[in-house]
Each structure stands twice: as structure tokens, then as C-alpha cells.
Structure 1
Amino acid sequence: MRRKLGFVSVGTMLLATLAVAQTPARAGVAPAGSPGTSATVAEARATINGRVSTDADTAASAGNAYWTPERMRAARPAPMPDGVDTFDGEATDRPGRIGAERDVATPAAPRSSAAGVSAAPEGASQGTQAVNASPGVGRVFFTHKNEDFFCSGGTINNPQANLVSTAGHCVHPGDGGSVWYDNWAYAPEYTEGEELHGLWFAKEFTSVEGWVDWGYLWWDFAFVTMHPQGGNRLVHVTGGQGLSVNKSKSLSALLLGYPGEAPYDGLSQYYAQGTIKAAGAQRVKLKNCPLNHGASGGPFLRAWDNDLRFGYVNSVMSYKYSGNMYGPYFDDDVLDIYNVAKNKQ
């Protein structure tokens, strides 16, 4: 029997005011004298214990030694950046390149039909439509300034079968510095503290200067190339989400992630769903979304197939403001970054 996600009715929970997190104070003000540079790709090799992750076996040995079950359970949900509904300078910095609607990657089921099979969690609501947990969504772990955190991410069905989408603030603090997060690992369909499909380790980060150098929330996305595990590639084991660009800013979406603040514990997937709306120049939002810290980087999914357990990533969870969940709009600017990342070995 497939595990059913704990249901969260959109708009039924009141959340505490979110704290200011890693985004620098200058967020929302366009960079003087440097128009257009925000769209430039930003890349870095991943590290484990501060050392570049050069090969899969070394990464697995060092990464598994670091991420003990106790350390993973003790990791804190990464703070979401502080944001507002409308940013000064957003339209100037990212006016948008909205081309033809495209599905640039299509969902793929795992090669093994056993992926994602588990029992329904205790406390799942009755009398509501059940949503199956996706093996193509997982919990992200990383270290920053000697503290361990977690976010969320989604597996993307790319040509190399090795890509994860997440938020920019789940790979880099967005402060203009050269230090990316350490010990970056991904546990697909992490369930009740168990790694159902193993722990996978990052090889390379691909984001954009608008996030890395300036901390702009309209650029808060990233792709992460993952090492193989035991000779197997991530998408072949778990399956992968599709990826859409230039779609309507008003469409039905399912948000999946690992919220870690009360009433959640970050140990299983939860979802919210509804019709997203346009926000600012190049962002979208889901109103009255109860998901919170730890869900960062989890996908906004369009055309969700509840039997396949995959859809098309159309944005990623970035921050909360006034009870709404915001994410960057996926247009041709995002497609350019995906095209840089998709063929990395």
C-alpha cells in the first residue's frame, strides 16, 4: 500500500510571525550600475567536511560518516528568508523573459516499482482526498557555520538522471560570499526519520548571481547535481519530476515538502494545494499556505499525477509572508540555468 501524506487543509492554520533569516538587508533593491547581471549563472563544487567532493565513493564514505541518524534528527529547519509581497526594484532587475509555454522535462517513474511503498502515517485526516508521497521529493541536509539544517527538494528527470531542484537559500546564504553550504545531502521520500532510498550527496551547485550575490528572492532557486550511489543514478532509483517554464501564473498546484516547525516535525512529507497567483514582477504565491520552515525548496507541482506520484516543477518554495507561500516564477531565465545544469555528469 502506498503511504498517504498527512493532509493539511490550505488556510486552516495560523502560523507564527517568521523570523528574519539569511537574506541580506539589501534584498529588494536592484544593484546600482549592474543591470542584467543578476541572470548570470553562479556555480560551485560541493564540499563534505570542507573538502571538495571529487568522486562518488569518497563522498558517500565521508557523507554517511557525518550524517548519522542522530545528526539528521537533530538538524534544524532552515529559516526562510524574510520577504514582502512587493519588492522595489524587482521589475528593473528581473523584467522577465516569458517565451512559449514549455515542458522541458517530463516526469519519469523509478525503474523499480517498489520505490515509495510504505504504510499511511498516523494522523492522516479522514474524509479528504489522499495524496501519495512522492519518491521524487526529499529532505535536504546541509551544514552552515558549524550548524546542521534541513530544507526540501525535488528530483528532476534530466538527461544525466542526477538533478535536484531546491531554493537558492538552501545552497548559499545569498550574501555575496564565496562559501556555499557544506555536507549537502538529499534523502528522497524521507519518512519517519528513515531514508527509504538512501542518502545521496551533492557534486555541484548551479544557481544564479541574483541570489548568490544579492539575495534577491525573485531569483531564489538552484539546481544540484548529485553523485551516483553504488553505480546507480538518482532518477533511475526514485524517478523524477518534470519541469515547466512560461506557464500561466494562475494554475492549480500541489506543494510538497518537509515543514519542521510545530505542528510538524520534518520527518515526513506534507502538502498544500490550491490555485497559485501572480506575485510581483516574476514570482508566484499560494495563499493561506500552512507549510513552514523546512519546506523551503520543495516544489510547486503542476499537472500532479497521484498514481505516478510525479508532476512538473513550476516553482520552488522560497518564503512566507502574511500566511502566503512565495516562489520564483519559472520562465526562460530559469530555463537558461537549467540548461547549464542538466547535462553535468
Structure 2
Amino acid sequence: MTLLRRVSISTLAAVLAGSVVSGPAQAALDPAAVAAVVASAADAAASSAPVSTGGGVVERAAAVAAGNAGSPAVLRARAAVAEDYWTAARKASATPADLPSASSAFSASPSSPASRGGSAVAGARPRAGTSGSFAGVGPSGIRTLDATTDSMTGRIFFVDDKGENRSCSGSTINSNGKRIVFTAGHCVHGGGSGRTWFDVSRWIFEPAYHNGSPYGTWTAQSLWTKTGWINDANRSYDVAAAVMQDKDGKHIVDVVGGQGIRWGSGYNRAETMLGYPSAAPYNGTKLITCPGATADDGGFPMLECTMTGGASGGPWLDEYGVRNWAYVNGVSSWQFWRDGDQSKVYKWQSPYFSDDTAGSLFNLVKDK
């Protein structure tokens, strides 16, 4: 009972209602494991204040809703929750994440209705800052599977703040901690008024996905994004990072490798967009690539590509094919289609990767 007395009635009620464990996953955990997760959520909520960085404020992710911190036993229990929850049937039924809301200033047909809520931007340029980069790395040790640039990209599954099963794309990023996955902000938080963090206890990444991953399922430990996205759904800040739990005692980047990251490098760069589109005519089972050159599309980098929803958060890779890793210099954030037909996507935009956006976010999480 000592453990349970550390938890408020409201926190315990939230757990029983499903904000930490729910559905079949709830029955899969014994009472001690549930109590451990509840205690972790209470501890984490006490330390969830925003963290300031030189390039702008980055909000610490919802240690509040699902227990981002905890002992190894707590993390193992949460990993079990995630893996039990994400059955093949739930993955197959997961729909693409909600995309950022539109602004009437856009002349092309956006992929989200203008009434979605929160404020939006039309061509807002990031504040000036220094350029920077961090090199990628292949996997450590001898592997029976050849890790490549593509194997560092994977499919993300999560439960959003409306309780709906969703999917995005993402990529591992090399860092000092070797535990980072980069994606879009709208793959971790709803963005804007009335929206909140997604359930970290059911946020998973499957690298080299093809109806499952040869590298297994990796569970998030914490989720991070910019306050510009959290508060205003500002597409200039639609970028996020997940710190992943270790699996079998290994960091994810040591197993599959990690891309490098680059910011402040301008437009008109030869880049390749990678992702797992799951809306028609695609089904989310295969990695799709779109090579091209980035254009300055009202302040946002743009690539021509026909990928549909589900590709959100996928990396835009600079120096793709040069070695077995490349530099992430964007993530898929916003799509445009023709003739009012969502299957006729013709281009995507990314937030501009500057020190104020991706650079400051990466520097905050690189040692975790």
C-alpha cells in the first residue's frame, strides 16, 4: 500500500479510465505493475515544467499523462503495455495522424479543413540562427541484417489525445544518447487550443517496417516538441523527437544505426523524402521514396511527391545514397492535393530546419 499512497485519487482514476493502460493491455499487467506505472506518472507530473534552450523554449513532453520517467521495472511494464496493445489488427486499422490546420492564405488545397482549430501560419520564416549538424552512424557490432539508410526509417503507431489509433513515419537520429527518433510535432501532440500530448505508453516505432519489423517494436520513453507547435499549432515548429526505451539492453541507434541531422543549410538542396503513406492508394506496408530538390515554397521547403497521409514525420534526407546514413534536413508536415481528391497529393512541405526549430530541439534531447 505504500506505493499506492504516493498516487493521488485523480491520478489513479485516470489510470483506471485508460490514460496509462487501457483495453486488453490493462488485463495483461498484474496489479503491482499497474501500481508501478501509476507511481511513475505521479513522480513525472511533478517534474514536467518547460525547459528553456538558447534557440527558444521546448516543452517537456507529457510526463504528466503517461509516466515518462520511472525505474527500469516501470519502463519494462510500459513496454509490455505498448506491445500488447498494438496487435496486428490495431496496426492495420490505424489511420493517418491529423495534419496541421489550414490558413485561408494558402492558395492550394490543403490536406486539413480550415476549421480544425488552433492558429496556422502562411509562409512564416524561422528566426535567424546558426547552422549546425551532427553526423550519422551505422549500427555497432556485427548484424545478421544489413542496416541501411532505409532501415533507420520506420512506421510510428500511437493513440492520440482523442483516443484514436493513428500512424506516422519517423527516423532514428544519431546522438550522444543514441536513443532518438525524429518525426513531426503532430505525431506527438495535437497542437493548439484544446489539444494535448498523445499517450507515450502506447507510442511505438518499428524500423524497416513491412507488416512488422525485423528489428522488433521499440517503445517511447518521452516525447518532445516545440512550444510553437504546442500552443499555436504553428507549422514552422511542426517537428518532434521521441526518446526511445532500450530493448534487450541496447540503444536503438546501436541496433539499426541513425541518420545525421543538419539545420540552417538553405533551400534548393537535392533531398529524398521517405515515408510510409497509408491512405489510398497506399496501405502503409511499404517504404516509399520521393527524390527531388527542395524549393522555397513561401518559407517552407517543398518537395513534389504523391505520398498520402501516414507519411507525416518521415525524414527528408540530404546526401541520400552516399553512405549507409544520410542527413535529416526536414520532416513531412503538410500535403497538397488536386481536384479535392485526397488521393491526388502532388507536393509536401516541411518546417524549415533552423537553429530555432530542429537545431534547438536536437540539442535538448541529444544526451538523453
Q: 1:247 is matched with which residue: 245, 265, 269? A: 265
* 1:142 aligned residue: 158
* 1:298 aligned residue: 314
In the TM superposition, what is the alpha-carbon distance from 1:56 to its structure 2 partner? 2.9
Higher strand share: 1
Distance in structure 1 (CA, Å) of the matches to 2:335 and 2:191: 17
TM-superposition CA deviations, 1:172-230 (whole Å, max 9, x none): 01024463111111111111x12211111111112111101100111110111111111
Distance in structure 1 (CA, Å) of the matches to 2:216 and 2:246: 11
* 1:122 aligned residue: none
SS of 1:273's equivalent in the other structure is strand
TM-superposition CA deviations, 1:92-130 (whole Å, max 9, x none): xx5422424x3x22121112433357xxxxxxxxxxxxx
Q: For 2:231, give the aligned amino acid.
A: D
TM-superposition CA deviations, 1:284-321 (whole Å, max 9, x none): 0013x10110000000000112651x210001000112
Q: For 1:324, give the aligned amino acid.
A: K
Matching of residues 12-91 of structure 1 within 5 Å: 39-45=56-62, 51-53=66-68, 54=70, 55-83=74-102, 84=106, 91=124
Distance 1:162 1:38, change over 3 A: closer
Distance in structure 1 (CA, Å) of the matches to 2:311 and 2:156: 10
Distance in structure 1 (CA, Å) of the matches to 2:94 and 2:203: 12
User: Is 1:278 paired with 2:277?
Assistant: no
In the TM superposition, what is the alpha-carbon distance from 1:141 to its structure 2 partner? 0.5
* 1:173 aligned residue: 190
Matching of residues 144-159 of structure 1 within 5 Å: 144=160, 145-159=162-176
Q: TM-score, normalised by structure 2?
A: 0.72
* 1:338 aligned residue: 362
Higher helix share: 2
Matching of residues 183-332 of structure 1 within 5 Å: 183-191=202-210, 193-281=211-299, 283-287=300-304, 289-305=305-321, 308=324, 310-322=325-337, 323-332=346-355
Whether contact under 8 Å (2:121, 2:236) holds in the other structure is no
Distance 1:46 1:139, change over 3 A: farther
Whether contact under 8 Å (1:85, 1:321) holds in the other structure is no
Q: For 2:139, give the aligned amino acid.
A: P
In the TM superposition, what is the alpha-carbon distance from 1:263 to its structure 2 partner? 1.8
In the TM superposition, what is the alpha-carbon distance from 1:232 to its structure 2 partner? 0.7
TM-superposition CA deviations, 1:9-61 (whole Å, max 9, x none): xxxxxxxxxxxxxxxxxxxxxxxxxxxx99421121468xx631434312221
Whether contact under 8 Å (2:149, 2:259) holds in the other structure is no
Q: For 1:137, give the aligned amino acid.
A: T
Whether contact under 8 Å (2:193, 2:231) holds in the other structure is yes
Whether contact under 8 Å (1:260, 1:266) holds in the other structure is yes
Distance in structure 1 (CA, Å) of the matches to 2:93 and 2:243: 25
Distance 1:255 1:90, change over 3 A: closer
Distance in structure 2 (CA, Å) of the matches to 1:115 and 1:330: 32
* Larger RCO, structures 1/2 (Cα 8 Å, 6+ apart): 1
Deviation >6 Å, runs of 4+: none
